[in-house]
Structure 1
Amino acid sequence: MKEKEENGVYSAPALDKGLDILEVLSKCENGLTQQEIAAQLGRKLGEIYRMLNCLVQRNYVANYGNVYTITSKLFQLSHFHPPTYRLLTEALPIMEGLSRAVSFPCDLRVYNNGFQTVIASIQPPNGLGFMTRVGSEIEVAPSASGMVLLAFQDQIIKNIRIQESLPNSSETEIEAYSNSLKDVVSKGFASIKSKQFAGLHAISFPILDMNGNAVAAMTVPMLARIDGTNQFTQEQVEEILRECVSNLSQKIAITNINANN
């Protein structure tokens, strides 16, 4: 069946329905019935029945007694993408060593259409600290990692990302945020107190490609202990994280060169 072209773009209703189902299920941890999916999408049961069956057969969706949940297949596919796979392959051993050395968690985040997605997260051996779940989507603007992912970009890309990340902000707010990114570039990293959680201090460095653009941000969230246990200082963590990220950036650059040869 030929799809109708509107405004120079071909529509694909069946694909739209499938993507709508995946998106609504991705936002629900406990799953949804067919009736609930249809209600949330504003569609009839007959419109989604065949599409749901197809998604189940292809293992994008699982069916547990008429309760449908999204599987990990999309997450797995995203890691088959060569740049992400190479990044994780090189990053995970470094992150494990970092977390073990400083006794704080650390995570790796990438930019994703106005948000940042956590693609790796490491807990220290003692299992204590502020940790973000892999797959989490986090707002860009309030965080150290978000500042890093925006600051270290070509100017055109930087401007686009700022607009995407601050969609409801005034020109004054956007200008103030843009100015704060200049300080991040000058320092080479972001080290700020959390604007969302009391007592949390986040340090984030960019993982740079051969052009000096941030492909990811490695972040250590520090929580001060009040029981007298000795901890690394903020300055010590910054230096160790700087060295780890420098090593990772070099490995990523070398890997990319070899992949292109």
Structure 2
Amino acid sequence: MSVQDDQDDRKYRAPALEKGLDVLELLAAQGPVLTPSQMSAELGRSVSELFRMIQVLEFRGYIELTPQGYRLTNRLFTLGLAQAPVKSLSEVALPAMRTLSELTVQSCHLVVPTEDQIVVIARIEGPGDLGYSVRLGYRRNIIDASSGLMFYGCASEQTRARLAARLTTAHGQARVSNYIAAAEQAARQGYVRRESDFVKGVTDLVAPIMGSDGILATLITPYIQRTPPVCDVDTALSHLQATAQAISAEMAAVSQA
């Protein structure tokens, strides 16, 4: 029996809803921006078939129109934050992140994995007039992100196997092998420290937040060099690791309460 046959045998079907979900999932996977024609080609549906779905999703605030096409808004992200585990993580992490930002005079971000992407769920701006940060809801492919190295390196064997298979299909064996080697190195040393590959002058510092079942999230400081330096990069990394460990300990206490 094919997948389509299995779908056709379902007791209940909602074709309109499924078209809308297809649009959302496509934008999440293929984004950041797609035109209706591109959506039509990717989904194998006509533009007229998708037109009403797109209009309703835009009206409800799930997608928005830009000069280049449609993109996801943060509405789904906001709904996801209402889930208790994520909300608890943010509530635990934010006070510690504020202290970290004051110590390092840098911004910091709380990042979680979602399938083969990473997403920023909380941030604290660096104090003062100068700083660098990314918006809430920012997504990037896990194979490209500094946090992605820690997510793979500290993941369970099952998660690593599933992610490696998915990434290999999308990016090829050679690139995934290099990614895995770098991720395993990151896990051994307990942090990531590397130059940003898309913003010059920024050094990504990443530490894992661990839970009872493995890695929960990462804490990342996009370190920018100030003149004169207020907190050097080595000290900032030490503060970052200590903060991530403190959040991990508090999350363990919350889960046992």
Q: Select the residue among 106, 109, 125 that pairs with 1:107.
A: 109
CA contact 2:203–2:223 (8 Å) conserved in 1: yes
For residues 100-146 of structure 1, give each alpha carbon's deviation from its aligned partner in whole angstroms, at most 9, with x where no partner exists.
21011111111112111111122112142221111111122233211
**Aligned partner letter, 2:203:** H
**Aligned partner letter, 2:218:** A
Aligned to 1:189: 191
CA contact 1:141–1:166 (8 Å) conserved in 2: no
C-alpha separation in 1, matches of 2:197 and 2:38: 37
**Aligned partner letter, 2:124:** I
Shift of 1:251: 1.2
Is it true that 1:245 corresponds to 2:244 in the alignment? yes
Structural mapping, 1:120-139, within 5 Å: 120-139=122-141
C-alpha separation in 2, matches of 1:164 and 1:135: 22
C-alpha separation in 2, matches of 1:172 and 1:109: 26
Say which is worse superposed, 196-205 or 237-246, in terms of deviation.
196-205
For residues 65-89 of structure 1, give each alpha carbon's deviation from its aligned partner in whole angstroms, at most 9, with x where no partner exists.
xxx9866542221011111111111
Structure 1: gaps of 5 or more residues: none
Aligned to 1:86: 88
Aligned to 2:222: 221
Aligned to 1:8: 6
Aligned to 1:98: 100
CA contact 2:192–2:206 (8 Å) conserved in 1: yes
C-alpha separation in 1, matches of 2:18 and 2:253: 40
C-alpha separation in 2, matches of 1:170 and 1:69: 27
CA contact 1:108–1:216 (8 Å) conserved in 2: yes
**Aligned partner letter, 2:232:** T
- Matched residue of 1:196: which SS? coil
CA contact 2:100–2:240 (8 Å) conserved in 1: yes
C-alpha separation in 2, matches of 1:168 and 1:71: 25
Larger radius of gyration: 1
| Identity in percent | 23
Say which is worse superposed, 122-131 or 14-23, in terms of deviation.
14-23
- Matched residue of 1:6: which SS? helix
C-alpha separation in 2, matches of 1:100 and 1:205: 18
Say which is worse superposed, 198-207 or 138-147, in terms of deviation.
138-147
C-alpha separation in 2, matches of 1:183 and 1:28: 30
Structure 2: gaps of 5 or more residues: none
Shift of 1:62: 8.3
TM-score, normalised via structure 1 length: 0.78
Could you say if the C-alpha distance between residues 155 and 128 of structure 1 is closer, same or farther in structure 2, counting changes exceeding 3 Å? Answer: same
CA RMSD between the two structures: 3.2
Shift of 1:191: 1.3
CA contact 1:106–1:218 (8 Å) conserved in 2: yes
TM-score, normalised via structure 2 length: 0.79
Is it true that 1:43 corresponds to 2:42 in the alignment? no
